[in-house]
Amino acid sequence: MKYYPIIQFYVLISYYFINYYIKWLLFTIYLDINTQGLTFITRESYFKRNYFINNITELSQESYYKLLTKDILMNLRTYDENSLILHANDHLNNFVQLFIMNGNSVVFVFNHSHKIYNITVKYPGLNRGKSIQLALVRTENVTMLYVNEVNSSVPVGYSLLVNYTSKPWINPELEVLSPQRPPAPPTEYFQVNIGGFDPENLISSKKESVRLSGYVGCVRGLKIDDFVVSFSSLGLANSSFNTSKEKELRGIISGCNMKCDEQQPCKNKGICIENFEKGGSSCDCEHTSYYGDFCGLDKGADFSGVSVLRRKFLLEGPVTQVKLNLAFSSSDKRQRSTVLLLIQTENKRSYYLIVALNEKGEMIFEEDREGTGGAFGAHIKDRNFLNGARHSVYYKRTESSSILMVDRDPIELKKIPVLSLTDTLTDITAGDNEVQIGGLNTTDPRFASYTSYSGCISNVFLEVNYNAMRPLDEYMLFTKTGSEKVNVTNSQGVRSAQCASFDDIHKPRPGPSLNISYGVDQTWVLDPPARMPYDSKYAKVFTQQDNTFNVVAMVMASILSLVIISVSYHAYHTNVKWKKRRDEEINAEIVRNKRQSIQMQEGYKLVKEDKLQLNGINMEMKSLCKQPLPVVRFYTPTDEDNESLKGKELRMEPRLKHSAIRGYLNKIEKTWEPIEETSEILEEITEDKQ
């Protein structure tokens, strides 16, 4: 038992060691360097560090100086079009630049000796406020730039200038920002600018296409080689009213806490837009088919199938710009072709745009762009638009560039044949420039097969040559103007309503139940779905991985295993010794108890019951000793007159006086039991005989 504290000590040490190892392992694996960052809320604010000859050996300077030759990793969230992300240069004109161009490209510019190179990576979602991971990987022969999973490279590494010259480049036209270059070599220095620059220190290019401004947005997780820049140690304020004495630090907030992440205000898959300058946010509801600040309003009307809402508009010249946004829901079972919306010009012009449903519940979209523009359309058959769920239509065209989205899914437009105006039109004086919603009121035979729509239509928004209209809102008096331009046929069939919600799964329209399996060879057991490997969109971009962590993990695991094995062996060995010692003690105790029991059995031996007759009195003697005393035999002399005691053997305790024997016998329960009458004790009888 005395070894239990030792075992507990080893177990406690192992527990703390394992706990520390697990914490270290989890910290190493799940370390997120994007927790620290800077938020730039003004164009004039930027982070700057200057290092001169007197502190050229500082650790931070050495780490920042690696920007010229080592790998760079950082994370961005911005809405900028053209802005500087990072610039670093030394007194010899060695430099690196990283900036955003045209809102969809990241450009890295650097020098390789006396020549300037740039790498451009296009990424369409660059300035939408989403998290963008940038990685610059530099080797002796290749320089690669990654923007999330998209990358580009040039077959040159790094080569720094060693001598100063005021005209260092053979292709100076590629230089975007340049420092002051005096004729004589300047004092040795190195400077870093993040998020902007001082126009008096760095001269911007005269090219309008690459004119840069300060960065507004968030920069997180800046890592230079193995050095992670600690933005939290800069002492910046946590509000836009920065009280720092440094002018360039005003307007910089420590951290990257965005309202869109914390509050998530936009509903119905609206896009949240961060307002860094005001510290707020707004919602882009363009593709949601909803209104309002938070994409939650639905203003519509229910059409009974006999009504038409008409809204006139002015149109001059060809239709070069169109924008349409609407939502609808219907469960009409009458299997007929109906019109949701029709944009029609005067009959002397052939332009029209129609959104309709056929008898199968499929959508038809067509637009005749007049003249040489041709006609384009789409027939969506992959879902049932009469299932009672919400559906949306979004269309936007500028000149010949167009996009159509149905239920937030992009739809390809194809060129379609359309009947010419001269073949179908009989009255060239009829018709107006108007929008018709929920039905038709036209003599154009191109739409003779369509009837009025039965169901809900909401949130209708139109632009024709940038002339904005909301026909339903104007009719329901949700707006203050435009109601005089709206007319309704059978107004009792148009009632204010809200359409249904979106259905996540679009089911096709059910057809008739027919048993066509007779005589047809079909395979009723469907093949299982194919397994496709998952390809992460934002996977790690480094081609070379550092195996230091694996080596350290293996060493720590080996040490942990050795400690566990040693503790287990020691505990087992100690337990075996303790069991052996316990068995020996038990055996010795058994032997000792046996000896004592034998002695006690001899000392407690019962005396035979003898019937004695003393002086004519019958006596029965029973002696039970309470103490383990030896037994001594007494014999009466042969010359005794009493024949009954002559040569008789008696058992008594020897070497005791009569008084002691009397006292001892008094303690013995029922030692002498007279059979007939009470008699004197044995001692008195023997005395009388003597």
Instruction: Quick: pLDDT tens for 34-48.
Output: 778 889 999 988 888
- Residue 589 located in a structural domain: no
Q: Give the pairing of strands 280-284 and 494-497.
A: unpaired
Would you say residue 543 lies in a domain?
no
Contact 100, 126 (CB under 8 A): yes
Burial class (CB in 10 A: 0-12, 13-18, 19+), 544: exposed
In a domain, 661, yes or no: no
Mark whether 310 and 195 lie in a shared domain: no
CB contact at 8 A, 199 and 44:
no
Same domain, 188 and 276: no
Total structural domains in the chain?
3
Specify whether 408 is located in the same domain as 458.
yes
**What SS3 state is found at 48?**
strand
Asked whether residue 283 falls in the same domain as residue 398, the answer is: no
Q: What is the DSSP letter of 365?
A: E
437 and 323 co-located in one domain: yes
Q: What distance in Å separates the CA atoms of residue 401 and residue 327, rounded to the nearest whole number?
A: 23
Q: Which residue among 196, 229, 254 closes a domain? A: 254
Q: Distance between CA atoms of 121 and 129, rounded to whole angstroms?
A: 18
Residue spans of the chain under pLDDT 50: 20-31, 56-57, 59, 237-245, 426, 429, 512-523, 538-544, 604-609, 624-627, 629, 653-661, 664-665, 667-686, 689-690
Query: Token pair 């390789």 is at which residue?
Result: 112
Q: Are residues 286 and 305 in the same domain?
A: no
Domain that holds residue 146: 37-254
Q: What is the pLDDT of residue 121?
A: 96
Q: Residue 283: its pLDDT value, please?
A: 92
- DSSP codes, 594-621: HHHHHHHHHHTPPPP-EEEEETTEEEEE
Distance of alpha carbon 209 from alpha carbon 94, whole angstroms: 24
Report whether 300 contacts 499 (CB < 8 A): yes
| CA atoms within 13 A of residue 58's CA, in its CB half-sphere | 14
Domain boundary among 470, 497, 524: 497
Task: Find tokens 């005067």 and name the residue.
Answer: 346
pLDDT score at 437: 95
Same domain, 288 and 345: no
Number of other CB atoms surrounding residue 256 within 10 Å: 22
Query: Same domain, yes or no, for 277 and 236?
Result: no
pLDDT for the residue 674? 47
Residue 602 domain-assigned (yes or no): no
Residue 563 falls within a domain, yes or no? no
State whether 373 and 412 are in the same domain: yes
Indicate whether 19 belongs to any domain. no
**CA-closest candidate to residue 457, choices 470, 469, 435, 472:** 472
Q: What is the pLDDT of residue 596?
A: 75
CATH code, domain with 380: 2.60.120.200
DSSP-derived secondary structure for 260-311: HHHT----TTPEEEEETTTTEEEEE-TTTT-BTTTT-B--EEEEESS-EEEE
Residues 321 and 293 in one domain: no
pLDDT at 539: 47
Residues 386 and 279 in one domain: no
Asked if residue 13 is part of any domain, the answer here is no
| Residues belonging to the chain | 690
pLDDT at 30: 41
Q: What is the pLDDT, as a whole number, of residue 404?
A: 96
Q: What is the pLDDT of residue 25?
A: 44
DSSP 372-422: GG-EEEEEE-SS-TTSSSBEEEEEEEETTEEEEEETTEEE--EE-----HH
> Which tokens sit at 649?
């053997």
In DSSP notation, 408-452 reads TEEE--EE-----HHHH-S-TT---SEEEESS-----GGGTT-B-
Q: What is the CATH number of the domain that holds 275?
A: 2.10.25.10
State the angle between helix axes of 548-603 and 4-29 in degrees (0 to 180), rounded to the nearest 10.
160
- Residue 636 maps to a domain: no
Amino acid 200: pLDDT = 84
Tell the residue number behind the tokens 């290092």, with chain if given: 51
Which pLDDT score is estimated for 650? Answer: 54
Q: Domain check: are 177 and 273 in the same one?
A: no
Q: What share of the chain is helix, strand, coil (3-state, %, to 5)?
A: 25, 30, 45
Among 497, 514, 533, identify where a domain stops.
497
> How crowded is the C-beta side of 252, counted as CA atoms within 13 Å?
27
